[in-house]
Amino acid sequence: MAIHHRIAGKILEISAPKGIKERARAFRHALESEKRKIIIYTDTDADGHGAGANLAVALERLGKEVELRPVDRDNVEFDDPSAAYVLSDIAPRKDIIARAKNAGVRVYYVDHHPPDEGWSDIVAEHLNSKILEPEGKDWYHWNTSALVYLAFRDLLHDRSWLAAAGMHGDHADKGLAHKLFIRVHSKARAIAEVLGLAEHFPNEITDHEMGELAKSARHPDDILHHPKIGSLYRRFKEEVERFVSDPKKHAAIWDESKKIMVLRLESSIRKIKSPVSSTLGDKYRDWIVIVCQPWEGKIDCSLRAANWKERNLHMGEWAREFAAMSGGRGGGHPVAAGLKFPEEHWNSFIKWVKEKTKNLS
């Protein structure tokens, strides 16, 4: 199976791995056969909004009754026992699995993150590149937006720009599909940044508003020129630039010989660490980039290592290891991971990173 779409008179073809191709067919068939109302829970980052909105549009074009719910992972509730549910860019954690079992609902699942043990007990059909990933392969760039677009591409021919933005949201590993999309969709980066604004300014634009905007938009400019977006986007860009223009100024660790940085960002903008780490990860591609931000008694960190293969690194394992030590939560992929832990463990974290990297060359 390959993705074909026409833009500016050109046909682009993006070949999909066989395992993903087969699973995409099965996932689509299952949702096409679903008779109940479908409630889509989707993450609130760019990939989540891109995937969730495109999936909602595709299912509505198939005549399905759909409700889109962009939410934080902690707020997934199965409150309508008569509905079927889709988890989009939200991995079934133990708490979600338990709630789904208790509600007795049917769940579908599309994602590129590893789910917790027991996920198959609640999932009727899945499309997950991480679960399908063969040993020795890295299918991280087949993120949720890419998977949704692959499965429903014939229904989303006019919305490839949103798929491109969603793919850009997880752009630490630039796979073939990502490169082709971004080459064509020059506004993908801006759209990806805008889709995350509700995470950064929750009191000024809600996740629900952003989800509905992504779903209803017919063109990138419908989002970029929305009345609520302009001033928020300028504030966001200025704050990111404040940190990336001189990262060393905000560093708790800056070691040029080992190529490792750990930054602590003091900012009034929520989750600013993610776009900062993404930007720095692009700029310092042979470095380990760890960007942390204190927020409401926690330290929220983004870990990236674009050259993880060459340096034999796994950022997801790093995140899980310190999370277990500190009573926090962490995980992810070799190239990129997230970590959150109580703020009182900050000094311990810095010591741990120094110990972890003392033998790195």
Task: Please answer whether residues 170 and 20 qualify as being in contact, where contact means their C-beta atoms are separated by less than 8 angstroms.
Answer: no
- On the question of pLDDT at 170 being above 90, the answer is no
User: pLDDT at position 183, please?
Assistant: 58
pLDDT level of residue 172 (50, 70, 90 thresholds): very low
Q: How confident is the model at residue 164 (pLDDT cuts 50, 70, 90)?
A: confident
Predicted local confidence at residue 4, as pLDDT: 45
Question: How far from each other are the two terminal CA atoms of the chain, in whole angstroms?
Answer: 42
Return the CATH number of the domain spanning residue range 2-224.
3.90.1640.30
Say what the pLDDT of residue 109 is: 98
Cα-based distances in Å from 315 to 45, 151, 289: 20, 29, 10
Say what the pLDDT of residue 360 is.
83
Of 282 and 234, more confident: 234
Q: Is the pLDDT of residue 113 over 90?
A: no
More confident position, 29 or 187: 29
Nearest to 270 by CA among 198, 344, 205, 337: 198
Best CA proximity match to 338, nearest among 349, 325, 326, 323: 323
Q: Which residues 6+ apart lie within 8 Å of 61 measured at CB?
A: 155
C-alpha separations of 100 from 30, 39, 309, 345 in Å: 19, 13, 37, 33
Q: Is the pLDDT of residue 175 over 50?
A: yes
pLDDT of residue 17: 85
- What mean pLDDT do residues 11-27 have? 81
Distance, CA of 196 to CA of 201 (rounded, Å): 9
Task: Report, as an integer, the average pLDDT of 65-90.
Answer: 96
Mean pLDDT value across the chain: 90
Angle made by CA atoms 7, 89, 228, in degrees to the nearest 5 = 65
Q: pLDDT by residue (tens digit) across 247-279?
A: 999 999 999 999 999 999 999 999 999 999 989
- Both tokens of residue 48? 């989540």
274-287 burial code (b ≥16 CB/10 A, e <16): bbbbbbbbeebeeb
For 245-356, give the CATH class: alpha beta
Q: pTM of the entire structure?
A: 0.83
Identify the residue with better confidence: 186 or 43. Answer: 43
Using alpha carbons, select from 99, 91, 85, 97 the residue that is nearest to residue 131. 91
111 φ, ψ (degrees, to nearest 5): -170, 175
Domain boundaries, the chain: 2-224, 245-356
Instruction: Encode burial over 329-355: b for 16+ CB neighbours within 10 A, e otherwise.
Output: ebbbbbbbbbbbbeeebbeebbebbee
Over range 314-323, report the average pLDDT.
96
Query: Could you tell me which residue, 65 or 112, shows the higher pLDDT?
Result: 65
